[in-house]
Structure 1
Amino acid sequence: MFALIDCNNFYASCERVFNPNLQGKPVAILSNNDGCVISMSDEAKKLQLPFGAPIFKWEQFCKSNNITVLSSNYPLYGDMSTRVMNILAGFSPDIEVYSIDESFLELKGFENYDLSNYATKMRSKILKWTGIPTCVGIAPTKALSKVANKIARSNLKQSKGICIIDSEENRIKALKWTKIGNVWGIGSRLKKRLQAKGCETAYDFTQLPSDWVLKNFSIVEWRLQKDLQGISKIPLEDAVTSKKMIATTRSFENTYADLENITERISTFASSCAKKLREQNSNCHVITVFLRSNRFDKNQAYLKENKTVFLSYPTDSTLTISSAAIAAVKTIFKEGVNYKKAGVIISGLVPNDNFQLNLFSHENPKHKPLMSAIDNLNKKFKGDKIKLGNQDLNRTWKMKQNRLSKKFTTNINEVLIVK
C-alpha cells in the first residue's frame, strides 16, 4: 500500500501557524516580486479569486472582500516543509518527498495494521508538532493514492482528511468520481486526446485496451493506466535524480534599458547556474539567454528575445558559461527597450566524469581547480563572497516583497516573543 500525505493550502497554512488571526479568513500568497496569486486558503477560493491573478488588477477585489494578501516567504515554507517530512519519515522508512508540501510513503509490512488509525496518527502528529493541516490518501498504488487524497480533500467534514481505497468496489467508485483532467500526470493536451476517445473519467481511461494505450501514447501513460487499475507500475523514487536542465530567471525590481545593468544581471544568473551545475557533478553543452520587457506596460510593445549558444565542449566553469551568456545577450539586446525580466538556462547536461571529448577544443585545465577553490571559500564564508569582475560585488538580487511576514523559524531575530 502507498500513502500520499498532502499539506492543505500549504503556504497559507504556514502563515496561519504564526498568525492565528488569519484562521478562518481568506488568505492569498503572491509569487516572486509580488506578481500574481500562487496559493490561497479555502476561504479565498470560495470568493472566486483566480489562481494566477495579477495582484495589481485584483487589489481592489481583495480589499473589498477582506482578503489578506502576503508575499511569498520561502525560507519559512522551506523550513516548515522539512519539519513535516521529518515527521513522516518516522512513519515509514520508504519515503519519497514529491514536492514541498506532499510525500509518498510505501507501507510495506502493514498488512495487519489499522490503516485508518495509522493515517489519523500521521495527521494528528503533524498538526500537533507543526500546526499544518494535512490529508492522507492510501491505496495499493501511487496513482490511486493520489486519487484517494483528492477525495479526502474534497469533503473534509465527511472524510476527516482520510480516504482509503482498499477494495475493488472502492477503486471503481473512486475512479468514476475522478474527472480525467484531475488524474495525476494527465495534462491539458493528453486530456483532450483522451476525451476525443470518450474518456471523461479516470475509470474510462482504465477501460481502454492496454495495447492501444502503449501504441498511441507512451510507456508513461501505460504505467499510469496500470497503476489506476490497481497494478503497481510506478515505483517509489528513493533517490534524488540530477536535473536535466538548470535555470536562473528573475524579474527585476525596476526596468533596465542599459546594456551594462543587463550584462551584470546575466553574468550573475550564469554564475548561479554554473554553481548548481557543479553541485550535481554535471557539465553543460547548451546555454540559452532570454530577455523580456514588461508585458503590462502599455507605452511599449511586449518584447521577448532568446539566444541559444552551443558549446564545442562540455563545461561547468563559471568563467566559460558567463562569457558565453554575456556574448549571447549582447546579440539580442535592443536600445530603447525597458527590460523587466531576464534569465539563463543551461541544458545538454552530461556527467562530469563521462562525456565525449573534442580533439580540437577543450576546457582550460586551470578552471577546474579554480572553481573548486571558489566554491569551497563561498561555502566556508556562507554566501557568494567571491564573484566575477563583471558582477556588482555589493549587489544582491532582492525581490519586491512589500507584504512579507517574518522568518519565524530561520532568523533568530524574528522568532516569536512570548510574554
Structure 2
Amino acid sequence: MYALVDCNNFYASCERLFRPDLQGRPIVVLSNNDGCVVARSAEAKQLGIKMAVPLFQVQEQIDRENVAVFSSNYALYGDISARVMSVLEQQAPALEVYSIDEAFLDLSGLEANYSLVDYGQQLKLLVYQYTGIHVCVGIAPTKTLAKLANHAAKQYPATLGVVDLSDPQRQRRLLSLLPVQEVWGVGRRLSRRLKQQGVSTALALADCDPGWIRNHYSVTLERTVRELNGQSCMDLETCPPPRQQILCSRSFARRITEYKDMRAAIAQYSARAAEKLREQGSLARVVTVFIRTNPHSQHERFYSNSASRILSVPSADSRRLCGTAMKLLKSIWQSDCRYMKAGIMLSDLYLPGHFQPSLFDAPETPVAMRLMQVVDSINQGSHGQIRFAGEMLSTGWQMQRNRLSPAYTTRWNQLPRVKS
C-alpha cells in the first residue's frame, strides 16, 4: 500500500503562513522575473486566473479583485517543504520525496492493524500542527492509483481530504469518473491518441490489453495499465538516481548587451551548477555554454550559439569549471546582439575514482576537493557567502523579483516579529 501526500496550493500556502491578514484573500505566485503565474490559492482559482498566464494579461483583474501577488521565494518554499517531509518521514517505514510538495509513503502492512482513512486523517493533522500546511492524502495499492486517489481527495470535499482506494470496486468507480488525461504519465498528446482509439476515461485505459498497449504505445504505458489494475510496477525511490547532466540557465529580466553582464551571469550559473554536481557526488567531463537572443522578435537579429569543451580529467572544482565556461563564452559572444537567455550544462558525469586518466593527466587533488567542501559548508550556513569575483562584476542581469516576501525561516534579520 502507498500513500501520496500532496500539499494544497503549496507556494500560496507558504506565503500565507506568516501573513494572517491574507486569510481568505486570493494569492498568486509568479515565475522567474515576475513573468507568469505559476501558483494560485483556491480563491485565485475561483476567480478564473489560469496557470502560466502572463502577469500583464491579468493585471487589471488582479487590481480589481485585490489579489496578493508574490515573486517566487524559493528559500521559503524549500525550507517549509523540508519541514513537511521531516514530519512525514517519522510516520511511515519509507518515504520518497517526489517533488517539493509531494511525497509517496510506504504503508505496507499497516492496513492489517489500522484504518487507512484514520491514518490519513492523522497524517493531515500532524503536518498541519507542525508546519501550518494543509495536505490531501491518496491511498492505494499502486503509486498510479495513489495519485488518482489524491486527485479525488482534492476534488471532492466530502472525502475530508483523504481517499482510500484499497477496494477494487472503489477503484473502478473512480476510474470511470476521470478522463484519461488525469492518469499519471498520460499527457495531452498521448491522451489525444488514446481518445482516437476510443479510450477516453481512466477506466477504459485500465481495461485495455497490456500487450496491445505495449505494442502500439510503450512499455511505460503498459506499466501504467497494470498499475491501474492494482498491480504494483513502481517501487519507492528512497534514493533518487543521480542526474546524468546538470543544467543551470535563466531568462533575463532585461536584454543583455554588455559582455560584463553576461560574464557575471555565466560565472554564477557555473558556480551553482558545480554546487549541484558536488551535492550528488559527481564529476563532470564536458562543459557547455549557450546564449541566445529572442527567437520571436521581428525587430532584432536572431542569434543562438553554444560551445563545449571536454576536460582531460572530470572535475567538480568550481574554479576549473568556471574558468572553462569563461573561455567558451568568449568564443561565442557577439557584441551586436540583445541576449534573452544563457546557461551552462555539465555532462558526461562520473563518480570519483571511476575515470581512468591518461599517463600525463593527474586526477583532481584532495586539496581542491576539501577546499570546495569548505566553500559549500559556508554557503549552506547562515554566516555568509563565498562567491567568485566574476559573479560580482555586474548585477544588471539578475532576476526581477519586485514582489519577494521575506525569508521568514532562513535569515535571522527577516524572522517575523510579534508586536505586543
TM-score using structure 2 length: 0.89
What is the Cα deviation at residue 283 of structure 1? 2.3
Aligned-partner Cα distance in 2 for 1:339–1:35: 17
Residue identity matched to 1:189: R
Question: Is 1:150 matched up with 2:151?
Answer: yes
What is the Cα deviation at residue 235 of structure 1? 0.6
**Match of 2:272?**
272
Aligned-partner Cα distance in 2 for 1:2–1:77: 25
Q: Which moved more, 1:315-324 or 1:274-283?
A: 315-324
Structure 1 residues 163, 365: CA separation in 2 closer, same or farther (over 3 Å shift)? Answer: closer
Aligned-partner Cα distance in 2 for 1:188–1:360: 52
What is the Cα deviation at residue 5 of structure 1? 0.8
**Match of 2:136?**
135
SS of residue in 2 equivalent to 1:349: strand
Aligned-partner Cα distance in 2 for 1:263–1:367: 27
Deviations 1:281-308 (A, max 9, x none): 2222433322233578775356543344
**Match of 2:350?**
350
Pairs within 5 Å for 1:274-313: 274-293=274-293, 300=300, 303-311=303-311
Q: Which moved more, 1:18-27 or 1:215-224?
A: 215-224
Structure 1 residues 118, 56: CA separation in 2 closer, same or farther (over 3 Å shift)? Answer: same
Pairs within 5 Å for 1:12-411: 12-110=12-110, 111-156=112-157, 158-293=158-293, 300=300, 303-311=303-311, 314-355=314-355, 357=356, 359=358, 362=361, 364-365=362-363, 369-380=367-378, 382=381, 384-385=385-386, 387=388, 390-392=390-392, 399-411=399-411
SS of residue in 1 equivalent to 2:392: coil
SS of residue in 2 equivalent to 1:348: strand
Residue identity matched to 2:341: K
CA contact (8 A) 1:378 1:384 kept: no
What is the Cα deviation at residue 10 of structure 1? 0.4
CA contact (8 A) 2:260 2:394 kept: no
CA contact (8 A) 2:261 2:396 kept: no
Structure 1 residues 312, 7: CA separation in 2 closer, same or farther (over 3 Å shift)? Answer: same
Deviations 1:321-363 (A, max 9, x none): 33443333334322222223211111222222223x364874x
Aligned-partner Cα distance in 1 for 2:375–2:319: 17
Aligned-partner Cα distance in 1 for 2:170–2:54: 41
Aligned-partner Cα distance in 2 for 1:89–1:398: 36
Residue identity matched to 2:377: K
Structure 1 residues 307, 45: CA separation in 2 closer, same or farther (over 3 Å shift)? Answer: farther
Output the aligned Cα RMSD.
Answer: 2.6
Aligned-partner Cα distance in 2 for 1:214–1:350: 33
Aligned-partner Cα distance in 1 for 2:58–2:302: 22
Deviations 1:47-77 (A, max 9, x none): 2222112223332231122211111121211
SS of residue in 2 equivalent to 1:337: coil
Q: Which moved more, 1:332-341 or 1:303-312?
A: 303-312
Aligned-partner Cα distance in 1 for 2:53–2:206: 35
Aligned-partner Cα distance in 2 for 1:97–1:332: 39
Aligned-partner Cα distance in 2 for 1:213–1:142: 19
Residue identity matched to 1:58: V
What is the Cα deviation at residue 398 of structure 1? 5.0
CA contact (8 A) 2:9 2:42 kept: yes
Structure 1 residues 301, 65: CA separation in 2 closer, same or farther (over 3 Å shift)? Answer: farther
Aligned-partner Cα distance in 1 for 2:349–2:217: 26
What is the Cα deviation at residue 385 of structure 1? 2.3
SS of residue in 1 equivalent to 2:354: coil
Aligned-partner Cα distance in 2 for 1:13–1:377: 33
TM-score using structure 1 length: 0.90
Aligned-partner Cα distance in 1 for 2:190–2:285: 31
Aligned-partner Cα distance in 2 for 1:262–1:131: 41
CA contact (8 A) 2:247 2:344 kept: yes
Aligned-partner Cα distance in 2 for 1:361–1:181: 56
Unaligned runs of 5+ in 1: none
Aligned-partner Cα distance in 2 for 1:84–1:155: 23
Deviations 1:24-43 (A, max 9, x none): 22110011221211100122
Residue identity matched to 2:93: P
Aligned-partner Cα distance in 1 for 2:28–2:303: 30
Indicate the percent of aligned positions where both proteins have the same amino acid.
Answer: 36
Deviations 1:390-414 (A, max 9, x none): 5437979853221122222222222
Unaligned runs of 5+ in 2: none
SS of residue in 2 equivalent to 1:247: strand
